Amino acid sequence: MSITNIIYANNPILIEVFPEGRNIRDAFYFTQITAALGIEHHLFLQKTENNNEDIVIEDSVIAKIKNAFTKFV
């Protein structure tokens, strides 16, 4: 996934759901970019369902994502 066009957004928020079994160092690339640009970034680690690193977004993760947006409602 690319976040290239995020620099053109007004007050963007990046919501990233990342497979927890993957090298944790990979999870922080977008974190470094968003921090440098002053963009709000929420990273949620989620367990994978198989060797393809497919992720099922559980209700608890959806609740956390919704919570990240409550200040805009």
Q: What is the pLDDT of residues 30-59, one digit of tens each?
A: 888 888 888 888 888 887 778 777 788 878
| Residue 4 resides in a domain | no
Q: Is 59 exposed, middle or buried (0-12, 13-18, 19+ CB in 10 A)?
A: exposed
Q: Is the pTM of this model over 0.75?
A: no
**DSSP-derived secondary structure letter, 66:** H
Q: On the CB side of 62, how many CA atoms lie within 13 Å of its CA?
A: 5
| Residue 50 resides in a domain | yes
How confident is the prediction for the chain on average, in pLDDT? 78
Tell me which residue range forms the domain holding 66: 12-72
Task: Tell me how far CA of residue 67 lies from CA of 3, 18, 26, 27, 49, in angstroms.
Answer: 22, 18, 25, 21, 25
| Residue 29 resides in a domain | yes
| Residue 1 resides in a domain | no
H helices within 1-73, ranges in order?
29-37, 59-69
SS3 10: coil
Domains in the chain, number: 1
